[in-house]
Amino acid sequence: DGGITQSPKYLFRKEGQNVTLSCEQNLNHDAMYWYRQDPGQGLRLIYYSQIVNDFQKGDIAEGYSVSREKKESFPLTVTSAQKNPTAFYLCASKRGDQETQYFGPGTRLLVL
Amino acid sequence: DAKTTQPPSMDCAEGRAANLPCNHSTISGNEYVYWYRQIHSQGPQYIIHGLKNNETNEMASLIITEDRKSSTLILPHATLRDTAVYYCIVRGVDRGSTLGRLYFGRGTQLTVWP
């Protein structure tokens, strides 16, 4: 089955630690996105990538980094510079010629 | 992208139609209306989209007013599993701009009760 997967479902971070969230898709989609969602809020864009080896900052990129070495993978690293990382992180992808985005199940990050 | 306005919450009895309104009075001619929903602690799910004609698929119907300043998402026979936050989004197709960005507001929390 084609789809978009995120792992892990829950992730715990200690103070000063970098953590990496995985996002993989086998839909052959060109574009991929990372969003952050805080309780009771909408989604805010962190980073997005239109093609391999290219990505752009979204609205809240500070404290985050990404890479796009393969078309199907778009990992997000939450660095120690992100002072309030506790949130629900969502990855999405879409075909280049369409506007509909398809979302993964999300990763919930908690700070210990 | 045009701003949308939705009521924060709505209720619906199971088996009845759920009609979710959305205002987008500043929508421009080439902007589509998209609807997504998000069940608690899951990723958003695409429902339907339209430009100016009414649209229907297996999940829902989308009614867009003639002046395109508002729309209504209709779930014809709501079930308990339709309880979710529903997002109305207006997105242009200008690929020269920030590609494929969707601006999610707070949406409408729909609660379907037995």
Residues of chain A in contact with residue B44, where contact means CB-CB under 8 angstroms, are: 43, 90, 92, 103
Q: In angstroms, what separates the C-alpha of B50 from chain A's closest C-alpha?
A: 11
Residue B30 burial by CB count (10 A; 0-12/13-18/19+): exposed, middle or buried?
exposed
Nearest to A42 among B43, B91, B106 (CB): B106
What are A40-66's pLDDT values in tens digits? Answer: 888 999 999 999 999 999 989 999 999
The model's confidence at residue B94, banded by pLDDT at 50, 70 and 90, is: low
| Angstrom distance (rounded) from CA A25 to CA A71 | 8
B91 at A interface, C-beta within 8 A: yes
Please judge whether A50 and B87 are an interchain contact, meaning their C-beta atoms are less than 8 angstroms apart. no
- pLDDT for A1: 57
- pLDDT for B13: 97
User: Residue B49: closest CA among chain A residues belongs to which residue?
Assistant: A100
Could you tell me which residues are beta bridge partners of residue A37?
A43, A88
pLDDT surpassing 90 at residue B103: no
Question: DSSP assignment of B33-67, as one string?
Answer: EEEEEE-TTS--EEEEEESSS-EE-SS-EEEE-TT
Q: List all residues of chain B from 8 to 67 with a beta carbon under 8 Å from chain A.
A: 32, 34, 41-46, 49
Higher-confidence position of A98 and A10: A10
| Angstrom distance (rounded) from CA A4 to CA B95 | 23
Please judge whether B100 and A99 are an interchain contact, meaning their C-beta atoms are less than 8 angstroms apart. yes
